[in-house]
Structure 1
């Protein structure tokens, strides 16, 4: 497999994994689970749950790690969320929600054991330097059953790519708002808490493309160190199939 082909493969895998985990994170059922767990604001449950592996940090610290959210609002949601169950328990609750979502909506998807096995090879071999959320989630225990474990593994791989992407963004000169606008536009930018007017970053398209390329190049390095070309292609194919299965099974 050429380097260009490997980069295409990791981009395919990364996109499928990101979208599959986003189905879980953004679904009303997940928000309902956070409310059932005692969070009056489900977004506070999300922030405390996802960030809880960082420990009892300040809201400012967590907003720095989350990188692409409006920091004042993110810090407020963190403070609200950790006031309910604390940081460690919040991450355990969110991890259990991830597992249950996988059990409910991924069962029957192709190759779940292989997604877990190949993903865990990547996770175990990747240095954690400058990847705090990835480091925290990598230390969490995976579920034993294949549907739950596969989605949890995809969750950790998503944090890996996100962390590398955030690092590339921090070196690029683009603001988070410009990156959001160049990625998915104003609705997406607003979802992350940023107020209008939005700087569109139209003169920085090449810079955003380089962020994506730098992220994929680093992921390709990680893939090539842990997986052979056939395994890399298998993970991309099975992740894409898992995303399709989720979309077919999850109610709108």
Structure 2
């Protein structure tokens, strides 16, 4: 693995975890309920997928890729019935900003995280990356903590889209990918019913997908950043994640 591949992988891991803290936190779910979503998971699906517009549940499930599609479709329709797709996305975007203000403001280099991350976002062609394309068109907050978490959110969608594309052409099913990644508890969280296909005979292929994802993300980083800038983004993102994790109540 090259140095810029290491930087891209470290950045991706830190940003994935940071945004997951926001997405899965009880405060975020409570905010979604307060915004009118009786089921906070429907608020999540409509909020995250709202940038796709008034799509069908099947189309949104295809883009989300690794969720059980029937349940995902039901949550989408439940969510968009509350305030529509565009307003759901705006609500979720505001929640992202507020979470950053509340829990990320103690981190160092937030302006730099946003600056470097925005370089990658601007330089990346969005073909085949619908959620990334939708979220990068959303206006960013002006204050550093909110903006940094929003940039992390967009870059998380970028890496997820690249990974899902690689997964789709690999022949590994979504449930097999979950089992090869984080196991049965994670598979159940994404709505898949037992029995779970474990994909054990595809472990080598899954490892190759991870490597392919990291290589592609390194190429995207290299198109926008110098090796030193990529290393800086990795360092600052990792440190910001630690600040966020320490600040957020368990």
* TM-score between both structures, scaled by the size of structure 1: 0.98
Q: Deviations over 1:44-71 (max 9, x none)?
A: 0000000000000000000000000000
Number of positions where the alignment pairs a residue of Structure 1 with one of Structure 2: 250
Supply the distance in 2 between the matched residues of 1:4 and 1:241 (Cα, whole angstroms): 22
Partner of 1:211: 209
Partner of 1:59: 57
SS of 2:2's equivalent? helix
Supply the distance in 2 between the matched residues of 1:210 and 1:141 (Cα, whole angstroms): 35
Q: Deviations over 1:158-200 (max 9, x none)?
A: 0000000000000101000010011000000000000000011
Displacement of 1:8 in angstroms is 1.4
Partner of 2:243: 245
Supply the distance in 2 between the matched residues of 1:119 and 1:165 (Cα, whole angstroms): 18
Does the CA contact (< 8 Å) of 2:3 and 2:227 recur in 1? no
Q: Which runs of 4+ in 1 moved over 3 A?
A: none
Does the CA contact (< 8 Å) of 2:51 and 2:134 recur in 1? yes
Supply the distance in 1 between the matched residues of 2:240 and 2:188 (Cα, whole angstroms): 29
Of 139, 144, 149, 1:146 maps to 144
Partner of 2:82: 84
SS of 1:231's equivalent? helix
Q: Deviations over 1:17-53 (max 9, x none)?
A: 0000000000000000000000000000000000000
Q: Deviations over 1:191-233 (max 9, x none)?
A: 0000000011111111110111111111000011100011000
Partner of 2:44: 46
Partner of 2:125: 127
Give the CA RMSD over aligned residues: 0.6
Supply the distance in 1 between the matched residues of 2:3 and 2:231 (Cα, whole angstroms): 10
Which runs of no fewer than 5 residues in structure 1 stay unpaired?
none
Displacement of 1:75 in angstroms is 0.2
